[in-house]
A and B are shown apart, each in its own frame.
Chain A
Amino acid sequence: MAEIFTVNNMRFLLMGLGKTLYISAVSLVLSTFLGCVLGVARNGRFAPTKLLSTIYIEAVRNIPNLLWIYVVFLVLRLKSTPAGIVSFTLFTSAAIGEIVRGGLSAVGIGQIEAAKSQGLTRLQRLLYIILPQTFRKIIPTLVSQFVTLIKDTSFLWSVVAIQELTGSATILMGRYYQIDQVLILYGLLALVYFLVNFTISAMFRNLEKRLSH
C-alpha cells in the first residue's frame, strides 16, 4: 500500500488534478458569460436573437455532453486541451443559458417597473436591478452545474486522451496490478473528486446563506 503513496505518484495525480481544474475553470468562466448572454437573449423581445438562442440552447442541451466532445475533437479537428475547453463551454453555456432564463423570469415585474420609474435605461435595469437578483436566485442551480462540469471533465481521458485527474489515475492503475493497489487508487480518485466538489458545494451554500440575509 505504501508503494502507492509515494511523492512521485502524488505529484503525478496532482498534475492531473491541476489539468482538471484548469479546463473546468476556463470553461466555467466562458460559459457563465455566454450563458448570461443566451439567457437574456432568449428572455428578450428581439425576435432574431430570441430565436437563435432558443435553437442553440435546445439543440445543445438535449444532446449528451459526451457527443459534443467527440464532435469538437473529430469533426472540428481541435487538439487536446482547447478541444476540452471548447466542448465543455459549448455544452455548459447552453445549460447555464437555461438556468439564467429561469432566474430572469422569476424577478418580479414590480422590480422592473420601479427601475423604469426611476429613469434607468434598459441596460442599467439589466445590470443593476435584474441580473444581481437573478444571480442570487440561481446560485444553487449554478453550483450544481459547476459540479456537473467538473465531474464530466472525466470523459476527456477516454475521448481525447487529455491527462487530467482520471487519466493520471488510470495510468497509475496500469502500473499496479494487485487487487488492493487498484482498489486503493479507485478510492483515492473518487475521494479527490469528492473533496473538490463537496468543498465547492459547501462554499456556495455558505455564500447563499449570507446573501439571503
Chain B
Amino acid sequence: MMRANGPFALFKWEALLGDFPFFLEGLLYTFVISLSALLLALALGIVFGLLSSAAFPPARAAARVYVEFFQNTPLLIQVFFLYNGLPFLGLVLDVTTIGILGVGLYHGAYITEVVRAGIGSVGRGQREAALSQGLAYSQMMGYIVLPQAVRVMLPPLTMQAVNLIKNTSVVAIIAGSDIMFAANSWSSGNLYYGPAYVAAGVLYFCLCFPLAKLASYLERRAKQAFGQADPGQADAAATRAAAKGAVTGG
C-alpha cells in the first residue's frame, strides 16, 4: 500500500502535511457548527422533554409528533429540504445556518427522549412530596425533578453529542466547509484519497473518542449510584429507556 504509486504513497502524505492547515480550518468549522447545533438541540430537547411529561394532552401530542417525525426521517432529507425546498418558499438560508438548524432539530428529537426518560426516572413520590410542600410546577421541576434527573440523563446526553458531531458531516454534501468537505475537496483535486480520509478520520476520532469515553465513565458511575439507591425509587422502565439512549440513536 505504501509503494511508490499506491493510494498511501509517501509523497501523498507529504502533500497532506503541507496542506494540513486546510484540514484544521475544517476542524474549526465542524467544532463551531457542532457546538451551535448542540446548544439548539439541548434547548429544543428540554422544551419538548418538559412538554412530553406535561399533564396537558395537546402538549404531549406536540412533543410526540416532533420526536416521531425527526427520528423516523433521514437527516439528509431534512437538510436537503432546508437547502433545496425552502428557496421555493422564498427563504434562502446560508449553508452554515442550514447545518446548525438541520442537525440541531434532528438531535433535539433524540434529546427530547432523553429528557423525557430522565424525568420519568425520578420517582413519583418525589413529585408528590414537592407538590404537597406547596411548590409550584415550575419549582418542582427546577428544584426537585430535573436536578435528580441529570444523573440519569448525562451519559445518554454525552453520547448524543458524539452522534451529533458525526452527523455534522452531512453539511459536506451541501458544501459546508467542514472536515469531511476539506477531505473531499482536497482529494478531488489531486486524487490523494488515502491520506485525505485518514486525516479526516483522525480529526473526527479526536473529537468523538474522548466524549464517548466520558459517556461510558458517566454511565458506570450512574449505575453504581443506582445500585446503592432504593431500587423501588426509580421507574425502572424509564431508567432503562435513558440507558438505551446512551449507546445509540441518530
Contacts and interface: CB of A to CB of B under 8 A. Distances in A.
A associates with B: yes
Interface of A: 58-59, 61-67, 70-71, 74-75, 95, 98-99, 102, 140-141, 144-145, 147-148, 151-152, 154-155, 158-159, 166, 170, 173, 179, 182-183, 186, 189-190, 193-194, 197-198, 201
A40 to B, nearest CB: 16
Size category of the binding interface on chain B = 35 or more
Contact of B244 (A144, A147, A189): A144
Interface in B52-99: 68-69, 71-77, 80-81, 84-85, 88-89
Given A66-B170, A99-B247, A151-B75, A61 B212 contact: yes
B156 to A, nearest CB: 11
Nearest to A91: B166
Residue picked from B72, B75, B170, B194, most chain A C-beta under 10 Å: B72
Interface in B200-248: 200-201, 204-205, 208-209, 212, 240-241, 244, 246-248
B74 to A, nearest CB: 4
A63 B197 CA distance: 10
A148 B249 contact: yes
Contacts, number: 121
A173 B7 CA distance: 37
B184 interface: yes
B24 interface: no
Contacts of A189: 77
Given A64-B167, A186-B80, A194-B68, 11 more contacts: A58-B212, A63-B208, A74-B197, A75-B197, A102-B247, A148-B248, A170-B80, A182-B84, A183-B88, A189-B77, A193-B74
A190 B73 CA distance: 6
B193 A198 contact: no
B76 A154 contact: yes
15 contacts: A62-B166, A63-B166, A66-B180, A67-B169, A67-B180, A67-B200, A71-B197, A144-B249, A148-B249, A151-B75, A154-B76, A155-B173, A159-B173, A183-B88, A190-B81
Nearest to A145: B248
Contacts of B241: 140
Interface of B: 7, 68-69, 71-77, 80-81, 84-85, 88-89, 162, 166-167, 169-170, 172-173, 180, 183-184, 187, 193-194, 197, 200-201, 204-205, 208-209, 212, 240-241, 244, 246-250
Residue picked from B71, B167, B184, B212, most chain A C-beta under 10 Å: B71
Given A62-B205, A179-B88, A186-B81, A70 B197 contact: yes
Nearest to B178: A64
A74 B240 CA distance: 40
Contacts of A193: 72-74, 77
A8 B96 CA distance: 37
Contacts of A179: 88-89
